[in-house]
Structure 1
Amino acid sequence: MFDIIVGTSSLSTNGKALAEGVMTKELEGTLADLAKVIHPHPTLSKTVMKTSHLPLGSSIHTLK
């Protein structure tokens, strides 16, 4: 499985969501690292955490 971050993009005026991906990439972090970061709720940056879980096959909202 590939979990390296090659780049980030954002279609919003909120630079915080973009900054999280850039910081993780600069620190040579992985998607798993980004998914572990605590994101405040409700904020746009929480979408970064949600989308980083998708390629890892996990979700923050699951039914058991």
Structure 2
Amino acid sequence: MVQIARGGSAAAVGGSHVLNPHQARAVVAGATHSMLHAIHTLGLLMTVAPLAAAVFALVLLRPAAAR
């Protein structure tokens, strides 16, 4: 489908066909945007989660204040 959306022929994809090539191009563009958004979200989570865990551990393991 991606090959058809980018201007390839239906025969090259094993007999598949697209009724509306413009809509197929929009789907491919939207999928690319969604993948990039998912990558950025995952990167943010992989940064924030360890930092939050480190702060939480420091708070729990803080020595008691001397009186």
TM above 0.5, one fold? no
Q: TM-score range by the shorter chain?
A: under 0.3
Normalising by structure 1, report the TM-score: 0.22
Greater RCO, 1 or 2 (C-alpha within 8 Å, sep 6+): 1
Bigger-Rg structure (1/2): 2
Structure with more of its chain in helix, by fraction: 2
